[in-house]
Structure formats: C-alpha cells, structure tokens
Amino acid sequence: MAQTGQSREARSHLNPLRGEIEAALDELGVERRLGTTVTEIGDGYAVLSDGTKVEADAVVWCAGITASELTRQISGDVDDLGRVPVDRQLRALPEVFVAGDTAAAAFDAEHTVMQACQHATPLGKVAGYNAAADLLGVPLRDFTPGPYVTCLDLGGAGAVFTRGWDRRVMASGAAGKEVKQRINQHIHPPVDDAAKILAAADRVHIELPFFPRDE
C-alpha cells in the first residue's frame, strides 16, 4: 500500500484508530510505503516514486472524496471538499436546501459533518422535511446529529469501532466486526410499510447509535 501523506501527528500513539488499522494491516501482511506514490503502471507491475518496482495483478487507486461540481451552481463559497455551507435547517439559499455529501453542515461548534452514511442519512431526512415544511408554511426543524462514531471494516482482521472526534476505540477485531455487521443491517430503510417508513424518516437523532453501553 503506497500513500503520499505521512502525517506524524496522526501516528498510532496519538491516534488510537490509526493504531488499530496498522495492527490489522500487520496481521494481514500488508506492507505500507508512506510518503510514496505510484509513477507507472504496467502489465503485472507498478513503479513507486522511490524507484521500487512492485509485482501487481491489480492496482487500486483511492483518490478521496469531493462533492459534485453541481454545488458550484448553488454557491461559490464551497469548502475544501466542494460542499455548500448551510444553516442549522440545511438551507443554502432561500429556495434551496442541501443534504448529504454536498452539505457543509455544522455537527457542533467545532466540527463539520463527515461524508458518511451516519450523517448523510439524517441530513436527507431533515432537508426533505424542511423543503416540504417550507412549502406548507409550517415550522422547520434543526439538524441534530447523534454522537460521532467511526466503524471501519478491516477484512479478515475484523473491524474497529470508535466514539467521539478523538476516536476512542470501543471495539476491535471480532467484536468490532459484529458492530459493523449490525450497522450494515440497521442502515437499510424499511420498505412496503408506510407506518414504518414514516417512523424511520422521523428518527434523526440517535443518542447511542448502534452500540448501547454503560459510560
């Protein structure tokens, strides 16, 4: 695995999540080349920027996430991920509400939401509700996200589940994988039942998402 970035402040002793990921990569036998990029891809190989030639049956390029270019038709003041600034009710312009990976919505006073399902789903619920409420002339609702979590599948090494923006590790390995599987089952919306669909649509803030526990 080659990665261009090599942030020292994100080393394992400062970032528990990174430590779990590095341990899983070690368990799976994945070699890392930080501060390195790929300069050439050929038939059965890749060449790294340090001159190393690596045999490869397949090369996977991970380029990160940015919002759709359509956001610039709404606002010229987008963030570094191309997202549109919105207020607490997800309004970007008087006639436009924005949700999902295109919305730079405030999570709290210090953080902006992540481009992930745990935020995109409630963003969509609130934006849809507020668009309809605005047309009907009834009160709008604020976006009130639940506590921030991270759940990363690590393949054969299990998964890691963290809470909070400091990413406190709550479960890893097989226990983390169990949480990840529960999340994957939980996030699918109900179908063919109007009452359940409406109830799910109204469920925006989840106090203890996916992992109830004593604190």
Enter the tokens of residue 23: 């341990």
Name, in order, each residue with C-beta under 8 angstroms of 195's C-beta and a sequence gap of 6 or more.
Answer: none
Residue 192 is classified by DSSP as: S
CA distance 84 to 78: 5
What per-residue confidence (pLDDT) applies to 8? 44
Q: What percent of the chain has pLDDT over 90?
A: 56
B/e letters for 194-205, b = 16+ CB within 10 Å, e = fewer, are: eeeeeeeeeebe
Radius of gyration (Cα) for the chain, nearest Å? 21
Same fold, 2-55 and 69-136: yes
Q: Mutual orientation of helices 194-201 and 117-136 as an angle, nearest 10°?
A: 100
Q: List pLDDT tens digits, range 54-70.
A: 999 999 988 888 999 99
CA distance 101 to 103: 6
Q: Across the beta sheet with 53-55, what order do the strands follow?
A: 38-42, 45-48, 53-55
Q: How far is CA 129 from the centre of its chain?
A: 23
Confidence tier at 17 by pLDDT (50, 70, 90): confident
Domain ranges of the chain: 2-55, 69-136, 149-201
What per-residue confidence (pLDDT) applies to 18? 83
Q: List pLDDT tens digits, range 167-213.
A: 889 999 999 999 899 888 877 888 899 998 888 888 777 655 555 55
CA distance 32 to 60: 14
Phi, psi of 14 (to 5 degrees): -105, -20
- Mean pLDDT across 28-56: 91
Amino acid code (one letter) for 194: A
- Mean pLDDT across 130-149: 93
Confidence tier at 157 by pLDDT (50, 70, 90): very high
CA distance 21 to 65: 20
CA distance 106 to 144: 9
Query: How far, in Å, are 70, 105, 110, 119, 123 from residue 78 at the CA level?
Result: 11, 11, 18, 18, 17
Of 3.20.20.70, 3.50.50.60, 3.30.1490.20, 1.10.8.60, which CATH number belongs to 69-136?
Answer: 3.50.50.60
Q: Which of helix, strand or coil describes residue 90?
A: coil
Q: For residue 140, count other CB atoms closer than 10 A to its CB.
A: 17
What per-residue confidence (pLDDT) applies to 203? 78
What per-residue confidence (pLDDT) applies to 41? 94
CATH homologous superfamily of domain 2-55? Answer: FAD/NAD(P)-binding domain (3.50.50.60)
Q: List pLDDT tens digits, range 97-134.
A: 999 999 999 999 999 999 988 899 899 999 999 999 99
